Copies of this chain bind each other. A is one copy, B any other.
Amino acid sequence: MKADKFREECGVFGIFGHPEAANLTYLGLYALQHRGQESAGICSSDQKQLHLEKSIGLVADIFNEKRLKRLPGYMAIGHNRYSTAGGSNPKNVQPIVANYSLGQLAIAHNGNLVNAFELRKSLEEEGAIFQSTSDSEVFIHLVAHSKADDLKERIVSALARVNGSYSLLFLTEKKLIAVRDPYGVRPLSLGQVDGAYVVGSETCAFDLIGATYIRDIEPGEMLVIDANGLTSYKSVVTAPRKAFCIFEYIYFARPDSYIFGGHNVNAVRKLFGRQLATENPVDADLIIPVPDSGVPSAIGYSEQSGIPFEFGLIRNHYIGRTFIEPKQSIRHFGVKIKLNPVRELLEGKRVIVVDDSIVRGTTSKKIVKMIREQGGAREVHMKISSPPTVGPCFYGIDTPTRHELIASSHNVEEIRRYTTADTLAYLSMEGLFKNIPDPENFCSACFDNNYPIDFPGQESQLELLF
């Protein structure tokens, strides 16, 4: 299921040199809406000053003709932010814009800084005043406090102080600057449309506006795009290894996108499904996905196993922005609000249900129950297209804390018993890595606790933040 279990910190999009910069950024953000539904914003420059429009809400609800007209100029950056369960702080909506000694600076950031707290403290000692609780604001202060003469040098000196993940766009009155952290945790691609350069979190944003994918921005690379064209500065920051996020393949990225070197997400997911079928065969009458994220793996599983694929759970897509479960009710709806089983398909059947992951286990339990009780299935076999999630993410995904992750303290049989499934199987680590390109470049800390970006006292300290 999408946008339920995990919440990524954002999608970014930028464009330089197009008469419809804000319009195309709007469309780019629209295509990246799956990366964040809490809020969105666009900042454009008319070469003299920056213009900003941002709000809580979905891209399509925030922007209209009138508001897009308030964003003049040939360059723009935009940002989608994830949706939180409870309230959300309007101050954290991006892009963030500030006035500093060299003029105006806007920032759009996908990722998470592991030393944000220390940097914030140290900047406050130097007199900095923070407006938001977002770690992205730290970048702006670091640039403002740098003693270097030009912006490029200031950004480089700022990056030298930060630790963590960032696919980052800066906009000034005259320049668009894109940077990807040296680990390459989050994707960031470069494209072109009508002669203008575009950058974006995923290539599906390029497809919508008819842009051509050129290449990924490399880990540690900074692109400066201005009237002189595009200049690449490689390795402005360095890291001992790469740490591409494996969960982009498993869950986050859209199936039609090409990420991390131009590999198609749908294809990788199908391979996970095939591998799962190979590793964990089970006798069954049909295989159904938990829509939408489980679909490609379920199709892969079906192809490999020969067991028929069916759409046995119908998803209600008209959720609106603000579904409120009536509190008064004794019912606890949870997953029922989004999914309903097709009893006709499931009744009396042995059903394999494919999902991308299990976090707390509560949703899986409800799905199993729904398939069995409402759907009438005789057997429910749960197949997960990733290994057990044992560790929280500190690099830009809003996961629960470790002790909330059921797999951090329970083995597969215990989880199976909790979910009440007849059988439960996860994809193996070997199976996972066998099916992704360049496996050595990936971070799999959520599966093996092997955190590539270190920081002192990381867990004890960050535990508090989640």
Residues from 293 to 325 in A contacting B, C-beta threshold 8 Å: 295-296, 299, 303, 308-311, 314, 316-324
What separation, in Å, do the CA atoms of A308 and B306 have in the docked complex? 11
Check: A149 CB closer than 8 A to any chain B CB: no
What separation, in Å, do the CA atoms of A299 and B255 have in the docked complex? 19
**Total chain A interface residues with beta-carbon distance under 8 A:** 82
Q: Which residue of B lies closest to A321 (CB)?
A: B61
- Are A267 and B344 in touch, CB under 8 angstroms? yes
Q: Which residue of B lies closest to A37 (CB)?
A: B318
Check: A99 CB closer than 8 A to any chain B CB: yes
Residues from 181 to 238 in A contacting B, C-beta threshold 8 Å: 204, 207-210
Residues from 249 to 273 in A contacting B, C-beta threshold 8 Å: 254-256, 258, 264, 266-267
CB distance from A63 to the nearest CB of B (A): 7
Q: Which of B33, B129, B146, B264 contacts A316 (CB 8 A)?
A: B33
- Are A65 and B324 in touch, CB under 8 angstroms? yes
- Are A324 and B64 in touch, CB under 8 angstroms? yes
Q: Which residue of B lies closest to A209 (CB)?
A: B331
Check: A126 CB closer than 8 A to any chain B CB: yes
* Most central of A131, A295, A310, A324 by chain B CB within 10 Å: A324
Q: Which of B59, B255, B326, B345 contacts A65 (CB 8 A)?
A: B326
Q: A30-B337, A61-B320, A100-B124 are in contact. Are A20 and B326 (CB under 8 A)?
A: yes
Check: A409 CB closer than 8 A to any chain B CB: no
What separation, in Å, do the CA atoms of A58 and B322 have in the docked complex? 10
- Are A295 and B311 in touch, CB under 8 angstroms? yes
Q: A33-B318, A328-B20, A342-B266 are in contact. Are A99 and B127 (CB under 8 A)?
A: no
Residues of B within 8 A of A65 (CB): 324, 326-327
Check: A144 CB closer than 8 A to any chain B CB: yes
- Are A26 and B326 in touch, CB under 8 angstroms? yes
- Are A126 and B127 in touch, CB under 8 angstroms? yes
- What are some 23 contacts across the A-B interface (CB < 8 A)? A30-B337, A60-B324, A61-B322, A64-B322, A64-B324, A98-B130, A100-B127, A100-B128, A124-B144, A126-B127, A126-B145, A127-B145, A128-B129, A128-B144, A129-B129, A131-B131, A204-B340, A207-B336, A208-B340, A254-B340, A255-B311, A309-B309, A317-B317
**Chain A residues with a Cβ under 8 A of chain B:** 20, 23, 26-27, 30-31, 33-34, 37, 57-61, 63-65, 68, 98-101, 121, 124-131, 140-141, 144-146, 204, 207-210, 254-256, 258, 264, 266-267, 292, 295-296, 299, 303, 308-311, 314, 316-324, 326-329, 331, 333, 336-337, 340-345, 374
The 7 closest A-B pairs by CB, nearest first: A60-B320, A127-B145, A264-B344, A33-B318, A23-B326, A60-B323, A101-B124
